[in-house]
Amino acid sequence: MMGMVGITLEEITKKFGNFTALNKINLKIEDKEFMALLGPSGSGKSTLLYTIAGIYKPSSGKIYFNDKDVTETPPKDRNVGLVFQNWALYPHMRVFKNIAFPLELKKSSRNEIEKKVREVAKMLHIDHLLDRYPWQLSGGQQQRVAIARALVKEPDVLLLDEPLSNLDALLRLEVRAELKRLQKELGITTIYVTHDQAEALAMADRIAIIREGKILQVGDPDEVYYKPMYKFVAGFLGSPPMNFIHAEVEGGNIRIYQSKISVPKQYREIIKRLEITEVLFGFRPHDAEIIRGEREGIKGEVYSFEPLGREQIVTIAVNSDVFVKVFAPEGEHFSFGEKVTIVPNEERVILFDKKTEKALEYFP
Ligand code: ATP
């Protein structure tokens, strides 16, 4: 249905007055790819999306759709479909007319409009709602209308700005799965802005993590989750986030407050080579065990525990003001103040340079 379009961003910088919202962004999005732009509020995700749409002109840098330089091309000639967070349906128009609107602007024929609107409405399961007004729809239905309106003109690229954030949590999960499937069925190159790490991990082929106008890392969900390049990336993905503890390296050991554990195998060589003496010791709440009795590990006291059904989150004080979270199986009993040992899964430990907060495996 759609044409083949890959997107290349080359050194894109966008300034608003003195403020640099995007700082030399380089990114390639493959044809048919689902790329998530993930980052905290104000990091520049929307600005980047609107620059790709042509709504903003970059201060410098180039944008290519395939081999064609579109940096100066106005939005209407880029053939992109855009869906905003608030959907912005026309309240006085019925669903049919809302979806048909882009085709009417293009002066498509009556017949063609009729056919295409019905086709796209069917695909999004809203074909029974075409005679309603937006206020007669649920949030999820309104959101589908907005997506239908973006898809009806058969764009080469679909650009979505937090399209699910106005839906309640349950509906968000449902539409998330559906949207992912639709994207693959249509085979349409898609860029999806979100600050929700779970959404990005769940839906995207690849994720670009953005902070303060810069891309910190681009990779598939496994890569950015298991091989984060920076503490920021590690801490942004996963819930609860990765634990980080300041630690000192002494010979083959790592000292974490009162505890001493051996340097994980995969880091022995690099720590020696870089002569590192201080690190941030990182491990995810799912990648450690809580042990009673003597074992090499990180000593601490149970501060709190929260059953979540199949598992529980245990918060452990490693020092008076340093807490980590570890998942434990359901049914295991903990008491406040109990002394325990945390044994991280060595293979999953990630060490970061204390100063640059970069993961050691990414050092040259
Ligand atoms: P959010 O998730 O909150 O929408 P975002 O990552 O999409 O955040 P942007 O909307 O791209 O962030 O904004 C990035 C930065 O650029 C912010 O600091 C914002 O205040 C600034 N900014 C965005 N648009 C403009 C504008 N038109 N004029 C001046 N500054 C702007």
pTM summary value: 0.92
* Residue 266 within a domain: yes
220 and 258, same domain (yes or no): no
Beta strands in the chain (DSSP E): 7-16, 19-29, 34-38, 60-65, 68-69, 80-83, 157-161, 189-194, 206-211, 214-219, 243-250, 253-256, 259-262, 278-283, 288-291, 298-307, 311-319, 322-329, 339-344, 350-353
Q: Ligand 1 in contact with 217 (CB < 6 A)?
A: no
* Residue 248 within a domain: yes
* Residue 156 within a domain: yes
pLDDT of 164: 87
CATH classification of the domain holding 38: 3.40.50.300
345 and 295, same domain (yes or no): yes
Residue of the nearest CA to atom 23 in ligand 1? 47
**Domain closes at, from 236, 263, 296:** 236
- Chain segment 193-208, per-residue pLDDT in tens: 999 999 999 999 999 9
* Residue 2 within a domain: no
CATH classification of the domain holding 319: 2.40.50.140
* Residue 176 within a domain: yes
Task: State the residue range of the domain holding 106.
Answer: 7-236
Q: Ligand 1 in contact with 134 (CB < 6 A)?
A: no
The token duo for 184 is 């693959």
* Residue 1 within a domain: no
Asked whether the bond before 240 is cis by omega within 30 degrees of 0, the reply is yes
41 and 84, same domain (yes or no): yes
218 and 247, same domain (yes or no): no
**Domain closes at, from 212, 236, 260:** 236
Residue of the nearest CA to atom 18 in ligand 1? 42
Residue of the nearest CA to atom 25 in ligand 1? 16
pLDDT of 1 over the 60 cut: no
326 and 192, same domain (yes or no): no
279 and 136, same domain (yes or no): no
**Domain closes at, from 236, 252, 274:** 236
pLDDT of 2: 52
Confidence of residue 165 (pLDDT cuts 50, 70, 90): confident
pLDDT of 357: 96
Among 64-73, 112-121, 170-179, 336-345, where is mean pLDDT lowest? 170-179
- Chain segment 226-239, per-residue pLDDT in tens: 999 999 999 999 99
229 and 247, same domain (yes or no): no
232 and 272, same domain (yes or no): no
Return the ligand 1 atom nearest residue 17 CA. 29
100 and 189, same domain (yes or no): yes
Residue of the nearest CA to atom 1 in ligand 1? 41
Domain count of the chain?
Answer: 2
